[in-house]
Structure 1
Amino acid sequence: MNRFIFGLCLLFCVCSGALSQNLSGTVKDSSGAVIVNAEVSATRVKTSEKTIARTDRFGAFRIEGLGTGIIIIRVRADGFKTHYSSVNLNEGGSADFMLEPRSVAETVSVTSTFLAGSNENLERTAGAIQTIGRTELETARVFNFSEALRRIAGVSVRNEEGFGLRPNISIRGSSPTRSRKVLILEDGIPLSYAPYGDNSSYYHPPIERFNSIEVLKGSGQIEYGPVTVAGVVNYLTPNPPERRTITIKTIGGNRDYFNGSVGYSDNIESTGIVLNYTRKQGEGSRENLRSGVNDLSAKVIQTINSNNILTFKYSHFDESSQLTYSGLTEAEFAADPRQNPFLNDDLEFFREGLSVAHTAVLTATTSLTTNFYTSYFSRDWWRQSSNSEQRPSRINSDPDCRGMADLSTTCGNQGTPRDFRTIGFEPRLNAQFDLGGFNSQLNTGFRLHYETQNRRKWNGFTPGAREDGSQITERNLRNTLAFSTFIQNRFIWKKFSFTPGLRIENVRYKRSNLLNGATGKTDLTQLIPGFGVAYNPFSNTTVFAGIHRGFAPPSTSDILTNSGGVVDLDAELSWNIEIGIRTRPAEAVSVDATFFRNDYSNQIVSASVAGGVGSTRTNGGETLQQGFEINSRIDSNRIFRSDYNIYFQSAYTFLAAARFESTRFSSVPGYESVPISGNRLPYAPKHLLTSSVGTVYRGFNAFIENVFIGGQFSDDLNTIKPTANGQRGLIGSQMYFNATANYRVERMNSTFFVTSKNIFDRLFVVDRTRGIYPSSPRLIQFGWKWNFAK
């Protein structure tokens, strides 16, 4: 009997080993030197389940619990070409890999678009920086940028029309309106149509164009600019893969939602190509709101030789939407929170962008990346109301427009056609050298940037007018010429990094009123210093601290009047301090935590945010934003070495202080003499939390997500009781749930998924700047993605 039990146990162990094969090996370069921290991923062919490991200081890796059969191996590391191969675990559980070096120019051309550069540079970055990668964006099935950015601590996004095409982004308590206080980049290049003269996000490409998102909130912001008061959001486009890849994706859902895209990417000898087209359409959060978007992007990377690479990018975007500007009054919201009486309002956007980047490796330790970029953006918006006080805007101005009863018959509208052109040139030099016992990394460069705005305003004869009417009320030309330069040097000594830097911005404004002939000019110059320190006490841990000057230039319309006068309006300035830690205390745990303090000597709060439409915009004076933020994640499979993974991740922000300081008075009409010192800033919730729990098993992954946004004020008086026009009053706390499930069928090269946003169909107020905007209703979407790689 004992022999039988012993034999049964032995057979069980053998079978278990066969059913749970491990893979181990090494990763080296062509010279035989080991490669440390290389990523080795193993994907089961039958189930498409992926397991990832990294090489240790000996270049060795080990992946456990792979089962049997054939797996696909992908090995990648900074500075090397990605390696693909297949391994049959039935024939053994060991494999060694050799990576071919990528040319220096290839490495630089890729990392130059990142805010932190390579993984090694990330460990030396003296500031809070978070990334949402391609896998997370893909499996989360995010509907828009608002949903994605809420996964980063310190970031708050205010909803608007429900489709996410014009997100209002706030970082660490900054004013969220049109994301004006946030610098938005695409591959390191300014994305806004007028980052100096009108840094507003009326244009925002769909999230489907991008591969990942970076958010930088520390002193490293001074390398970019012009806006450095809050943070930098960098959207990264995909690079050509090693193999030809074709993708097709379709999504459908309630509220007449459709999202279809097709992509092609390839590497043909020395030329890499990425092409993508997306069509996105559906209904918004209210009646008579409907959006349709076409987005086409192309990227070509041409390797000239081992030291020179050219990157060409082109993008086309157009939007045709039935979209109003006005929110609801309290009475309208109470009667029907999703109503929109302005069914004749129409928006037509068109944008084309082109950029060329040349990467040149000058020496083994010196490289130069030169960017040229240009864009054209046309914005035509015809509407019968711009805020909840206008019912409608042409009442008593058009002779037969006596009220809302005449809205669709005898009331005209107002059109605001605007054209924006931007062109810029920006070389950046990176050099490494030894200086007095320090390993030194120098980044320096300059930018020459020019932008024009052609702004008109017309009164239309009829509700559906889309052409110039009989009366033009505004015709402005606004020009902005900006020159900036920066220098930032990282001194590395043992486990410490010290990074001082300086940016100089010079901005020249001109505004011409073509109706009365008035012209005004002015300029400003600002020095923006910064200093950061990082300490790496042990592997996978960085402790950092930094201080820098926050700067946001006033827009052309704020600093120059329509009569040519110069407004005594200073630039927005602050001192931003942060202390934090990035750590991976265990393979299964990651934590990024930061304390921050943004001390403004002159914060300019947008008029509509301070107290609704009609509020004045003046030098804002002192404000303080201070708090704590933390991103964290834990994965069970890294603890138990199991085939399945249960994970938890969260992004929490505690904005303890967001208040007016010094002697401050309200900007709400009729309350200009009321002191507001000590009041909380509008649209600055104290608590933000986005958390999710999910599971991954073979080809299946799913999660449920909870979003909590604390209560917030909508005006500088901190008004509690709502006003009749809906533009002031407390916005209560909000909590809702999202959920997503994906299933990969490898033999079909397909992934099927279902997602739901706001599962329980919660209704709440999200915005009051131009009247009440309701939350997006419950959305349910089904999708299929097919991808083929050869």
Structure 2
Amino acid sequence: MKFFFLYLITFFSFTATLYAQNACIKGKVVSQSGKESLPGVNIIQANGKGVFTDHAGLFSICKLEKGTLSIILSFIGYEKKIIENIEINSSEAIIDLGKIELKETSIQIPEINVVSTYSSDNIFSNRQTSTSNTISKKELELTRPIGTEETLKKVAGINVSGDMGISNRLNIGIRGSYPRRSEKLLVLEDGSPIAPAPYLAPEMYYNPPTDRLDGIEIIKGADILTYGSNTMYGVVNYITKLPPSKPTLGIHLSSGENGYMSQLVTYGGTWNHTGAELQILNKSFDGFQENSPSNIFNTTLKLYSEISKKQSIYFKLNYHQEKSKASYSSLTPFTYNLNPKANPFDADDLTTFRYAVDLGHHLELNKNWVLSTKIYATQFQRDWWRQENTLIKAKTAKLYLGEEIINERYSYLSEQTFGDNDWIRVGRVVNGRESTRARNRLFKTAGFQETVKYNWQTGNLSGKMEIGGKVHLEQFNDIEITNDSSRFARSGKLVKDNKFTLWAASAYIKHTLSYKKINITPTVRYENIEMHRFDQLAISQNPLNNGTPYFGSTKNTFNTLLGGMASSYHLIQNDKNFLTLYGGLYQGYTPPTSGFGFLSVNDGLVNSKPKEEDPINIKPETSFNFEAGTRGYLMNNFIATQFTWFSNNISNFYSAGRSEAFQSLGKINISGAEMVMQINLHNLLPMGKHELTLGSSATLMKSKILGGTILDGDLLKAKHTDASKQEIIDKINAAPLGYLVYVNGANGSDSLISRPLETTDFNNIKKIEMVFGQNGIKNNHVPYVPQRILNFSVTYSFKGFSIGGNYNLVESQYTDYINLNNETAEGAMGKLPSYHTLDASISYHFLTSEKKWLKGLTLYMSGKNLNNQIYMASRLHRVASGIMPGGFRQVIGGIKWNF
């Protein structure tokens, strides 16, 4: 082994000398503030010839003659730098300029110039005091993810609970947050919120295609107080592509298994400090299951201009359209085991349209003061016709559905034998016909934000103060239409017509004090929210309607004051080593949504159906969060690492999950550790142009429900097996004070039962309330919080060639608050088994070629879930859906060409 290692060093050293046969200058370009690598920097010689820095910020200019040389470095968002009088004394000289620092312009827009995502060397963001993670442009280019969940699963602290193969609707949790539609998180694109309605309806029914992204930034800890609503768990900021430094036409074509096809055309460049780019994307996919194709069309116009040394503007327009046969219904255990690709619901149709505009302006008032203005607006329309479904025993399918329907869509049942616990999900049949229900929604949001930044310094003491204020408006229309004539009918009877409006005003102040190696950052945030609900069907039938704007509406208002403190200490700080200790504590909150924002609370007890005289007074869910950790780059970035311990204590907890709500407000704790390490062997060993990187991340979590009483609306609707019935009875008998069990009383009312239960009692149970706390249920875990998530990766590159692989392991996790181990017969409840995935990618980029038309060409192939291990991804929609499968293999190949 020792001789093999010596051989590798000798081989790489010899290879490196092959490229030192003429005069060269080389160096590495980094940002001045965070020392992060800057790829894509334009470096021009006096003769007009130039190069760009690579993904690690490195550059070299060779075939130089003896003499004196000057170079000019320029990069959008940074001050131009000129290096003069570089002496070249021989024809074989190699001059290393070392690290060249570029200073950020004070008018740089931080949300779109996220430097940490530029280079694969950066695993966290130096602009954040608290914990952060970054996914680089190079990683996205190598792995070619077909959806953002594919790449976010590698990030420490994130748990993916998919319900669709290419993550058109994002389902992730951060540090134990409920993952369904990522509704507990704040998701941004270039710093602007992209959920249909971030307060009223934060569910992620829009998720940007990865083809448009240059990187992703994940922010946790006290820093998220400055960003907006949903500040309890974390922020995901998608970074879209910046305009290229020189005029470029890009064509990106890819295709793969399961009818996957993607076509992206871009044109843009930078002219006199103004960068602009137009992107047009069309993407189609047949889906992993039957009857599940989707098509996406997305176009974006992006412009950034430094109109002077003291002013910059940013403008972005986006149009997004999706047409999918997206189904809400999924698999029972019987169907999952028999055919996980089965989907008989051919009449489900989802259509979305999104229009968005962002406008930003930065103005340097003087060297210490910068004023930033942002205006954003979106309109998102979601029309979703879903076939009405029901559960039947498989052995009754032919009788219930009829011969014709069986032959058309349930052929997988042929020649099967069925047991009593074999259930299937089918279209509901009434009078021989199936039907659909439309759940159509229209969202409109707009916001105006003003931020002032002030920098000062006195001796060794300096400060950065940031004051921000925002006004945010939302309107959400929610209608439902039914029909019973045909499952393909697209009109019918209006049965629901609700409108919601919201007005939110917020302000924050953040002040970072720095003294030598110590940084302390206190932050305070205030929000005032007013929301209204209109039952427009009921209002239309009210003869007393006097036409006033808020007639018949239900109103809720609340104020929230949040505080936080983050601190850091630079333990080591020099050219080759950077190690920081950091910590923070802050208050987080998730505001009430349209679903639970109009409830009444009296002495901690929630009234979910308040009468007219009951006050509407439910307040936000709140948390007290703490974290501490260390991060840094060691041995000239041979090792990059980040380790964090965190603890989130959440109170006033109501919205536990789908069909799960606390009747008396709950308390939970989620704590754990996040570890990230990247070993860049090429930064230690003499490997020349060879690069070898090993990466790993680990998430360790534990959770506990500390208090509250919860009612699970699906617990008794589920189709229980003998095993799940017995498990529930055993849980009740083991902790009788933790379960309030009601049966049908003699007079028809609910009767509380206090004796030990037998399995035969189960069918007589009408309601079960779970009581958590010291005298009740003590050791249950929060759903969708696996104890361990592990990820390992390896990447090798040489010149334009790159190859990499990734292994991901997610341990088992509960999906309900009762913590059922045994699965119910329709698949809505029960523990999810652990699973693992294996991905690999290979690409070649023609860096140098005698043929000019090859220079901008990249060829690649990428395989996802190569082990083809089908696993249970989630039970997110519970009784309404069942098991959502994942793990289907997908191989794609493509060509990318920049002219």
Amino acid in the other structure paired with 1:783: G
Q: Provide the secondary structure at the position in 2 that maps to 1:537.
A: strand
Alignment of 1:397-416 (within 5 A): 404=427, 406=429, 410-416=433-439
Q: Provide the secondary structure at the position in 1 that maps to 2:571.
A: coil
Bigger Cα displacement from structure 2, 429-438 vs 174-183: 429-438
- Map of 1:702 onto structure 2: 803
Contact persistence 2:801–2:845 (CA under 8 A): yes
Deviations 1:117-136 (A, max 9, x none): 999x9547431011112111
Contact persistence 2:117–2:215 (CA under 8 A): no
Distance change (3 Å), C-alpha of 1:226 and 1:401: same
Q: Distance in 1 between matches of 2:816 and 2:392?
A: 16
Contact persistence 1:344–1:408 (CA under 8 A): no
1:573 pairs with 2:622: yes
- What is the aligned length? 747
Deviations 1:743-787 (A, max 9, x none): 122331211111111112111111113311111411111111111
Contact persistence 1:193–1:377 (CA under 8 A): yes
Which of 297, 317, 320 is equivalent to 2:320?
A: 317
Give, in angstroms, the shift of residue 538 of structure 1. Answer: 1.6
Give, in angstroms, the shift of residue 356 of structure 1. Answer: 0.7
Q: Provide the secondary structure at the position in 1 that maps to 2:572.
A: coil
Give, in angstroms, the shift of residue 278 of structure 1. Answer: 1.1
- Map of 1:632 onto structure 2: 677
- Map of 2:820 onto structure 1: 719
Contact persistence 1:330–1:724 (CA under 8 A): yes
Task: Give the % identical residues.
Answer: 25
Give, in angstroms, the shift of residue 329 of structure 1. Answer: 1.8
Contact persistence 1:27–1:35 (CA under 8 A): no
Distance change (3 Å), C-alpha of 1:19 and 1:615: closer
Q: Distance in 2 between matches of 1:34 and 1:406?
A: 65
Q: Distance in 2 between matches of 1:421 and 1:40?
A: 37
Which of 542, 554, 559 is equivalent to 2:580?
A: 542
Contact persistence 1:26–1:34 (CA under 8 A): no
Q: Distance in 1 between matches of 2:64 and 2:788?
A: 49
Q: Provide the secondary structure at the position in 1 that maps to 2:768.
A: coil
- Map of 2:705 onto structure 1: 660
Amino acid in the other structure paired with 1:319: E
Amino acid in the other structure paired with 1:599: N
Q: Provide the secondary structure at the position in 1 that maps to 2:809.
A: strand
1:764 pairs with 2:871: yes
- Map of 1:467 onto structure 2: 490
Q: Pairwise CA RMSD of aligned residues?
A: 3.9
Deviations 1:57-111 (A, max 9, x none): xxxxx98xx99899xx995688334899999996542376999988845x42356
Amino acid in the other structure paired with 1:424: G
Give, in angstroms, the shift of residue 674 of structure 1. Answer: 3.3
Q: Distance in 2 between matches of 1:640 and 1:580?
A: 29
Distance change (3 Å), C-alpha of 1:123 and 1:535: farther
Structure of higher CA gyration radius: 2
Contact persistence 2:289–2:342 (CA under 8 A): yes
Deviations 1:285-339 (A, max 9, x none): 3111111101111111233322222211100000000111112222222332211
Bigger Cα displacement from structure 2, 669-678 vs 260-269: 669-678
- Map of 1:786 onto structure 2: 897
Amino acid in the other structure paired with 1:650: S
Contact persistence 2:385–2:490 (CA under 8 A): no
1:582 pairs with 2:693: no
Distance change (3 Å), C-alpha of 1:96 and 1:581: closer
Distance change (3 Å), C-alpha of 1:15 and 1:160: closer
- Map of 2:762 onto structure 1: none
Q: Provide the secondary structure at the position in 2 that maps to 1:167.
A: coil
Give, in angstroms, the shift of residue 169 of structure 1. Answer: 1.4
**Larger RCO (CA under 8 A, 6+ residues apart):** 1
Q: Distance in 2 between matches of 1:578 and 1:503?
A: 19
Q: Provide the secondary structure at the position in 2 that maps to 1:333.
A: helix
Amino acid in the other structure paired with 2:332: T
Q: Provide the secondary structure at the position in 1 that maps to 2:712.
A: coil
Q: Distance in 1 between matches of 2:41 and 2:471?
A: 46
- Map of 2:783 onto structure 1: 682
Task: Return 5+ residue gaps in structure 1 as ranges.
Answer: 1-12, 55-61, 609-613
- Provide the TM-score with structure 2 as the length reference: 0.76
Give, in angstroms, the shift of residue 550 of structure 1. Answer: 1.1
1:139 pairs with 2:142: yes
Contact persistence 1:384–1:463 (CA under 8 A): no
Q: Distance in 2 between matches of 1:113 and 1:206?
A: 19
Q: Provide the secondary structure at the position in 1 that maps to 2:670.
A: strand
Q: Distance in 2 between matches of 1:417 and 1:593?
A: 44
Contact persistence 2:649–2:667 (CA under 8 A): yes
1:208 pairs with 2:253: no
Which of 473, 476, 497 is equivalent to 2:498?
A: 476
Q: Distance in 1 between matches of 2:33 and 2:439?
A: 62
Q: Distance in 2 between matches of 1:323 and 1:123?
A: 40
Distance change (3 Å), C-alpha of 1:23 and 1:642: farther
Give, in angstroms, the shift of residue 684 of structure 1. Answer: 0.9
- Map of 1:751 onto structure 2: 858
Distance change (3 Å), C-alpha of 1:739 and 1:99: closer
Deviations 1:457-492 (A, max 9, x none): 0002444445330x2111011001100000000001
Which of 153, 158, 174 is equivalent to 1:171?
A: 174
Give, in angstroms, the shift of residue 270 of structure 1. Answer: 4.3
Q: Distance in 1 between matches of 2:431 and 2:247?
A: 53
Alignment of 1:138-537 (within 5 A): 138-385=141-388, 404=427, 406=429, 410-434=433-457, 438-465=461-488, 467-469=490-492, 471-517=493-539, 518-537=552-571
Amino acid in the other structure paired with 2:693: Y
Q: Distance in 2 between matches of 1:167 and 1:294?
A: 18
Q: Distance in 1 between matches of 2:27 and 2:344?
A: 66
Amino acid in the other structure paired with 1:576: N
1:738 pairs with 2:741: no
Distance change (3 Å), C-alpha of 1:134 and 1:715: same
Contact persistence 2:801–2:843 (CA under 8 A): yes
- Provide the TM-score with structure 1 as the length reference: 0.86
Which of 769, 773, 780 is equivalent to 1:673?
A: 769
Give, in angstroms, the shift of residue 414 of structure 1. Answer: 0.2
Which of 886, 889, 892 is equivalent to 1:775?
A: 886
Q: Distance in 2 between matches of 1:531 and 1:454?
A: 39
Amino acid in the other structure paired with 2:692: I
Deviations 1:587-615 (A, max 9, x none): 2110011000011123334432xxxxx44
1:592 pairs with 2:592: no
Contact persistence 2:390–2:428 (CA under 8 A): no
Q: Provide the secondary structure at the position in 1 that maps to 2:334.
A: helix
Q: Provide the secondary structure at the position in 2 that maps to 1:673.
A: strand
Alignment of 1:117-132 (within 5 A): 123=126, 125-132=128-135
Q: Provide the secondary structure at the position in 1 that maps to 2:200.
A: coil
Amino acid in the other structure paired with 2:565: F
